[in-house]
Amino acid sequence: MFKQTLHISTSPHLKLGVSTDDIMRNVVWAMLPTSAFAVYAFGLSVFLLLVTSVVAAILTEHLLCRWSGKESTVNDWSAAITGLLLGLTLPPAFPLWMAFVGSVIAIALGKFAFGGLGYNTFNPALVGRAVLQAAFPAAITTWHPAFLEGRFTDIAGSTLALPFMEPTYDAVSGATPLSAFKFDGVAADSADLALGLVSGSAGETCALLIVLGGIYLIARNMMNWRIPVSILLTVYVLSGIMHWVDAEAYPSPVFMLFSGGLMLGAVFMATDMVASPLTAKGVVVYGVLIGLLVVVIRLWGGLPEGVMYAILLANAVSPHIDSALQNRVYGTHKKAKAV
């Protein structure tokens, strides 16, 4: 008898040799400038916020793996990314205990309950944030101004609220450009928006650094460029049309692009590899859908910002987009229906 040396495996047979860990590590590198700027702009409170959410995410992942008898998947960096992303979407003076709760929910309910990395229907960080938004609507919409004096030595009062206790806010609080526009009709300067000289969630203010991180990932072929491009283009075109129709009531497209969490969401969240569609056509539909929802929620919805809900909704339909827009199998006829 001859020894069987035949390898049986499913396609794809040609692999790039880039592992999940590599990609995830690079995503962390790409987010570092944004995180560093967040700490620079908002000081010690944001540093503690980011540390808390990352540590809570890693801890939850590790404990859940251990508890369910699996090998710990902490080393693939995905939990760290979820924690960091969640921290970046939270207001700068957000109570640390709430961030901790959010991280635990993001990992436990957003990811682990679905089966871990690769099975999550939704972007886990956004699941965590959505729960926090629904549970603590006051805390998550109380913004802290950027570039305060003494931000590297003082911690905002609300940051250190005792667990399960209501935070007390400092007298100073700032409005985000989006809420300022929605409720007071004041549009912020575009240059300030791009450079991040405004108030907002910890990591969403500096659009330029986010774009830089995105370009790095696209250049290394670790992110599908069609997703951010189609989201941003849709938002730009739609809000451009609305602005052209009525410049008084609707903000300029540049304002729409650079304000709020759109950049952060389009570059780092909508591109979640698991929760976005697979085909090139599919991701464009997915991106257009997100852009459309963002514009609709921002211009006509009750909330000033809608990137989170837009992405979560698009995540929910992405399997359907996939099944509706299958690639034609090579060699088959155009009309042949994909199963």
Q: Rule CB under 8 A: which residues touch another protein?
A: 98, 109, 113, 131, 134-137, 139, 161, 164-167
Of 131 and 324, nearer to another protein (C-beta) is 131
Q: Which is nearer to another protein, 100 or 136 (CB)?
A: 136
C-beta separation of 27 from 123 below 8 A = no
Sequence-distant (6+) residues with CB within 8 A of 15 are none
CB of 69 to another protein, least distance (A): 11
Nearest approach in angstroms of CB 164 to another protein is 6
What's phi and psi for 7, nearest 5 deg?
-95, 125
Q: How far is the CB of 167 from another protein (least distance, A)?
A: 7
Q: Give whichever of 135 and 249 is closer to another protein, judged by the CB atom.
A: 135
Q: How far is CA 191 from CA 36, 142, 184, 258, 329, in A?
A: 20, 24, 20, 9, 47
Distance of CA 166 to the CA centre of its chain: 26
**143 pairs with which residues across the strands?**
174
CB of 118 to another protein, least distance (A): 19
Q: Which is nearer to another protein, 32 or 135 (CB)?
A: 135
Instruction: Give the chain's end-to-end CA distance (angstroms, integer).
Output: 41
State in angstroms the smallest separation of the CB of 38 from another protein: 24
Smallest separation (angstroms) from another protein to the CB of 132? 9
Q: What is the maximum span of the chain, computed from C-alpha positions, in angstroms?
A: 83
- Our CB check for another protein shows the closer of 158 and 259 to be 158
Q: Distance (Å, rounded) from C-alpha 251 to C-alpha 258?
A: 11
Copy the structure tokens of residue 117.
């990395």
Q: Which residues contact 168 (CB under 8 A, 6 or more apart)?
A: 157, 158, 161
Which is closer to another protein, CB of 146 or CB of 161? Answer: 161
Cis peptide before 12 (omega within 30 of 0): yes
Using CA atoms, how far residue 161 sits from 1, 56, 83, 221, 246, in Å, is 72, 17, 20, 42, 44
Choose between 194 and 312: whose C-beta lies nearer to another protein: 312
Q: Count of CB atoms within 10 A of residue 324's CB?
A: 14
8 Å CB contact between 64 and 108:
yes
Q: How far is the CB of 86 from another protein (least distance, A)?
A: 16
Helix, strand, or coil here: 239?
helix
Please state the closest distance from residue 67 (CB atom) to another protein, in A.
Answer: 10
Cβ proximity to another protein: between 69 and 150 the closer is 69
